[in-house]
Amino acid sequence: MADIVEPVEEKKKGLLGKLKDSLDDKEEQLNVLSTFVRLGILIWSGGILTLAYITLPPALGIPEQKLDPTFIASVFTGVLATFGVQAASKKEKAPTAGAITKADLEKLIEAAKQTAPTQKIEIAQRPIKIITENDE
């Protein structure tokens, strides 16, 4: 009695199945999936923002929607920020209270040069000793 082996048909794999097979690491799979989710949200919010600012032809039969696009714009810019894209601002920002300006930083560097122009650091083994010498 010989066993008859029937050929097993391989099921067609969808996009997620092919993705799972091509990436071995679960972390890589989650990174790719999260990128696709972020892209989906980016496309959705970009489409809603576009529809908020254009008027559609009456032939389409879609009534005009009155919506406030600020939430959608914040979602759009937030998703763009996850991809490393930052919105450029044409306005020059005033320094905040307590912030160091470039001129202040240059003054500090110049003052540091006058008080300690050079510094020598020696590191010895067990125990570590930091010794400074002035080269004058």
Which amino acid would we find at residue 82?
T
Cα–Cα distance measured from residue 104 to residue 126, given in angstroms and rounded to the nearest whole number: 40
Quote the crossing angle between the two packed helices 26-53 and 15-22, to the nearest 10°: 140
Neighbours of 52 (CB within 10 A): 15
pLDDT tens, residue by residue, 20-79: 777 777 788 788 888 999 999 999 999 988 888 888 788 888 777 778 889 999 999 999
Spatial separation of the C-alpha atoms in residues 123 and 99, rounded to whole Å: 35
pTM of the shown model: 0.50
Question: Using alpha carbons only, what angle is made at residue 75 by residues 69 and 81, rounded to the nearest 5 degrees?
Answer: 130
pLDDT of residue 21: 73
Domain ranges (residues) in the chain: 15-82, 103-131
**Alpha-carbon separation of residue 49 from 43, 54, 69 (angstroms):** 10, 9, 6
Instruction: Note whether 67 and 49 are within 8 A (CB).
Output: no
Nearest to 38 by CA among 90, 75, 70: 75
Q: Name the DSSP letter for residue 6.
A: P
pLDDT digits (tens, 9 = 90+) for 84-115: 887 776 666 665 667 778 888 888 888 877 77
